[in-house]
């Protein structure tokens, strides 16, 4: 792909990015999902490619268009996203920006559920695979740097710090998505980068600026 030819500090590096929501079908016309426009993930993939990285971009059905200069691998469900991540070539770094649905419906059918008076549908759920945790805990071929996201409310840093430890990723990019912040669905983000070095709060800035700063930091680690 073109991006691999461009010069920059990430030239020759392969980086995996997950982005967007996943859709878990209930029937052919209905699904469950987490909220995600895909904007932050797309911006990160764009910023990494601009620094010369070869980017594999595994994306659920997002609102924003997929970036240029990346290898786009479209998926629908969390289980498909895990398969695509595992099928991608070995990565130097991986950034998990997707808002993966936590559950899928085990009794989803090929027939549309009708409101035919036979009562409410009885949906049954199973937990989805944790893609970030799976990659973080790989025994062989683990990317040198694994970055997760944590969109939290209430005690954001404590939740995100616990999540980082539980999953085993190197960094967590935490943000406060309480309605009062106006972050959710907007063009700006206010994140805290949590690593072995502690919690580093970044000022509120555009999602593109967050992406560029994160890409720069990733480049420093992979140098
Ligand atoms: N993630 C993932 N696979 C999942 C769930 C989450 O890869 N099945 C990744 C997300 O892409 C994100 C990070 O894990 O980088 C945190 O997602 P989040 O939904 O905050 O974590 P959960 O473990 O699902 O916890 P919660 O109960 O707070 O939703
Ligand atoms: Ca979740």
Tell me the per-residue pLDDT of 83-130, one tens digit each, with 9 for 90 and over.
999 999 999 999 999 999 999 999 998 999 999 888 999 999 999 999
Neighbours of 178 (CB within 10 A): 13
Q: Residue 22: which of 60, 74, 62 has the closest Cα?
A: 60
Best residue for ligand 1 mutational test, from 93, 132, 214 (most atoms within 8 Å of Cβ): 132
| Token pair belonging to 43 | 């911006």
* Neighbouring-strand partners of residue 160: none
Percentage of the chain surpassing pLDDT 90?
90
Cα-to-centroid distance, 62 and ligand 1 (Å): 17
State the pLDDT confidence band at 55, using cuts at 50, 70 and 90. Answer: very high
Interface ipTM above 0.85 = yes
User: Is 34 in the active site?
Assistant: yes
**For range 171-185, the mean pLDDT:** 91
Phi and psi angles of residue 84, each rounded to the nearest 5 degrees, phi first: -65, -40
Q: To which H or E segment does residue 19 belong?
A: strand 14-19
State the pLDDT confidence band at 21, using cuts at 50, 70 and 90. Answer: very high
Best residue for ligand 1 mutational test, from 130, 157, 160 (most atoms within 8 Å of Cβ): 130
């Amino acid at each position: 792909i073109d991006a691999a030819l461009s010069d920059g500090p990430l030239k020759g590096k392969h980086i995996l990015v997950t982005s967007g929501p996943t859709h878990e079908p209930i029937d052919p016309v209905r699904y469950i999902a987490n909220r995600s426009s895909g904007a932050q993930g797309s911006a990160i993939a764009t910023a990494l490619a601009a620094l010369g990285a070869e980017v594999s971009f595994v994306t659920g059905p997002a609102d924003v268009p997929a970036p240029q200069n990346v290898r786009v691998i479209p998926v629908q469900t969390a289980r498909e996203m895990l398969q695509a991540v595992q099928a991608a070539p070995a990565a130097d770094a991986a950034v998990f920006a997707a808002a993966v649905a936590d559950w899928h419906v085990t009794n989803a059918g090929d027939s549309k559920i009708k409101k035919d008076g036979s009562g409410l549908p009885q949906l049954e759920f199973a937990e989805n695979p944790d893609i970030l945790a799976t990659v973080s805990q790989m025994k062989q071929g683990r990317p040198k740097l694994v970055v997760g996201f944590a969109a939290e409310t209430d005690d954001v840093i404590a939740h995100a710090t616990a999540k980082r430890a539980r999953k085993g990723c190197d960094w967590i990019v935490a943000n406060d998505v309480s309605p009062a912040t106006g972050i959710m669905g907007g063009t700006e983000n206010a994140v805290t980068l949590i690593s072995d070095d502690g919690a580093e709060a970044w000022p509120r800035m555009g999602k593109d600026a967050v992406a560029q700063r994160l890409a720069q930091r990733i480049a420093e680690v992979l140098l």
